[in-house]
Amino acid sequence: MKINCEENKIPTLITLTDLFKFKLKVFRIPDYQRGYSWGRKKETKQLNDLWNDIENIDGNSCHFTGTITLEKITPNSKWRWEKEINSGEREFDVSDNLTIYIENTEYTPYFVVDGQQRLVSLMILLSLLSKEDKLLDKKEEAQRFVSIVGNGKTHYLFGYEKDTQSHQFLIRNIFEDHSMEITEPETLYTQNLTRAKDFFKLKLKDLNGDKKNELYKKITEQLLFNIFEIKSEELDISLVFETLNYRGKPLSKLELFKNRLILLITKRYGEKSKGLRENVINTWKYIYEWLGKNKEKELDDDDFLKAFWVMFYNHHGKTDKKFQEFEHDIFENKYKISDVKKNDFLLEYGKRENHFTGLDKLLEKLTEAVKYWFFIHNPDFEFQNPEQKEKFNYSPEIKKFLRKLDRNTSGGFMKPLILAYFINFQSKENFDLLKQIERHNYCVYLFAGRPADTNRSHFYEKANKFFINMISLQSIIAEIRTKTDEWLKLENVYVHIHRSRAKNKQFWDWNGIKYTLWEWEESLQGENEPILPNYLNSSTYLIYPTSRFSFGKNYVDPVRRGRADNDFDKLRYSLGNISINKKQKSLNGNIKLKEKDISQSYSDIDKDSNYKEWTDKTIFQRGLQMLAFIEENWNIEYK
């Protein structure tokens, strides 16, 4: 929203300069907040929107950027500021009147309850501008939004609360203060900070000095904010935060869960909650470290929370619909606000002095589960830490089946069961469970074509029983086998592959064709090195092409010889006429001239060596051979 700055009479709208310098302030992003999320991989909309808003400010106009909600320090939260003082990292004192003195100058400390993402983004941008040689007249002024220097020490006016997941990283890697030692792990959120910094560096790269000075003026004097200050004596800040963050870019359920735990602990135990609160914060730092450990494959936090919830809690008799309401169960049943004393995990407090048995178990299992959750999705990850390398030194067969389960996303609801298996069983060789789950997912969904929710609620319920050892490993394997076999009826397979799709191209548009051909490729590969780079960068193609071609006046097509068009179409889209390669193939010409170009997979090599001429008979023979492979590989016997 554009506003004329000179005519602005709205007292509640202030600039960034006013926010920081009118009654000098120090800001900290509190421990219950999520980390920085605007730089999330493949999600740069918020950063682009902010940059475009700033760029589009012209002349004396201003732009309303949003509301920032603040909480002033209170006697109850004073200890959280003293953590930073007592650490020796920064030297300032919290006075009895709850103000901070830096170099004999009085500052008022605030927590940022809402507006973190905008403020962090602008601080990153101002920090970059303060290091620009072409901005000499504003460098020091830009830096004073972030920090001030006195007696050789740097005092940060803006940052995360100490011991939160991005505190050290923001100071050292983003603000480039190399005196800050990083002892905390990188997480999804620290990766987002790096991406945001890279985003702004790229935007600044081609701006000249005048443009950078103009940009600085827009940020500090022409962006307007509505400032709302909450009195924590009157309102529960954690609950306010939870309510505020249901708008805008919403918090993930995992982030909300952390906040809910802190809220419940604080409400019930007050001063006793300090250590418990820190346990929750440290656990979440650890969780986000593992969710973001593979920067090329970040894991979704809510997927993890739901899988953990399915595994950790009893779901006896739940319908499939109830399993879709996991958020309601967590926040309205198990960890509700209305009656804190009835929250199950809180009842166990006090069995030993300052010991929280229920919470200890929850945090312990969350910590254990996230490591295996990462391994399930990254079986080939190269761990550098010797302890982690040894922990995940599983057999090649286990890793092979985890790769298969990752390729076939059908039956993803089996992952809580897999998670329970890795937590409970120490064997690094036994892959029987994974093999049966892979068979189930292939046979039920890809081969028999059953809906995605088939068997879902059944195995969701079994995951917890397996986790608490109410069901043995052999029993659950037998149950998966039974639930698989009951759908292996020839009529199901036939209907799925031949009749259930609009185009009805039999095996060619079958949803299981790529996965099946990849398995066929690996069986032909044996102990040899793979030819195809990976599953995602491979694709299927028709060996004999889809269109009719003119091969010359006297050419006799060996495939079509003596066959009617309908018969030919059946062969064209049959299993024997489909192969897999590095990229989509189109044989737009004489098939014999093209054969030398397509032997880039074991499937193609096998075709070339076994079938010298590609005819109707060879297509049929190859199809029978592949069907026999399917039946043997997935142990299929039709009913």
pLDDT tens track for 70-98: 888 777 777 777 666 654 444 456 656 67
Question: How big, in percent rounded to 5, are the helix, strand and coil portions of the chain?
Answer: 50, 10, 40
pLDDT 10s digits, 206-220: 888 888 889 999 999
Q: Apex CA 485: angle with CA 482 and CA 488, to 5°?
A: 160
Q: Under a CB-based contact definition with an 8 Å cutoff, are residues 423 and 365 in contact?
A: yes
Signed CA dihedral, 192, 198, 201, 205: sign only:
negative
Give the pLDDT mean for 253-281: 83
221-238 average pLDDT score? 72
CA nearest to 399, candidates 382, 424, 414: 382
Distances (CA, A) of 366 to 123, 313, 390, 415: 33, 12, 21, 15
Beta-bridge mates of residue 105: 102
Handedness of CA 552, 556, 557, 560 (dihedral sign): positive
Task: Quick: pLDDT tens for 545-599.
Answer: 655 543 444 445 666 665 655 666 678 889 999 999 886 554 444 444 344 455 5
Which ranges of 205-252 does DSSP label H, i.e. alpha helix?
209-217, 237-244
Q: Which of 8-22, 342-356, 603-617 is predicted least confidently?
A: 342-356
Lowest mean pLDDT across 248-257, 316-325, 374-383: 248-257
Lowest mean pLDDT among 26-40, 168-182, 245-259, 404-418: 245-259
Which range is least confidently modeled, 155-164, 168-177, 187-196, 436-445?
Answer: 155-164
What 3-state DSSP class applies to 391?
helix
Supply the pLDDT for residue 354.
43
Q: Over the stretch 280-308, which tens digit does the pLDDT of each residue have? A: 988 998 999 999 999 888 899 999 999 99
- pLDDT band at 600, cuts 50/70/90? confident
- Please say whether the beta carbons of 63 and 2 come within 8 A: yes
pLDDT of residue 246: 47
pLDDT for 580 equals 92
